[in-house]
Amino acid sequence: MVELITISNAAGNWYLNKVVINPKHIAVVAESREHNRLLKEGKIDLGFNQQIEFSKIQMAITSGFDELIAIGSPASIIEKLGRNSKQLLKG
């Protein structure tokens, strides 16, 4: 299990959340350009440094979640998951 910090927006207010997920349920980790842009424009008001990056994490259908927006670059999230680009695929 891996603990991530995510952000969410409800009724125009941004919130931080701590989630614990099974890394096997993650299908895709990608840069969240929209959230990175919103931060640079000052529209995500959580007191973050402007250098923070956000990643969009798409979950497998069986996980019960569609997607999460996590704090961290895709590379740092993948590193936290214990995966790397040289991982062998099982066939």
pLDDT digits (tens, 9 = 90+) for 27-41: 899 999 999 999 999
- The pTM assigned to this predicted structure is 0.81
Q: Sheet holding 13-21: strands in order across? A: 13-21, 2-10, 67-71, 54-59, 26-31
pLDDT tens digits, 22-79 = 888 898 999 999 999 999 999 998 888 889 999 999 998 776 668 999 999 999 999 9
Structure confidence at residue 43 (pLDDT): 92
Task: Annotate 1-18 with b (16+ C-beta within 10 A) or e (fewer).
Answer: eeebebbeeeeeebeeee
- Comparing CA positions, the residue from 25, 17, 27 lying closest to residue 1 is 25
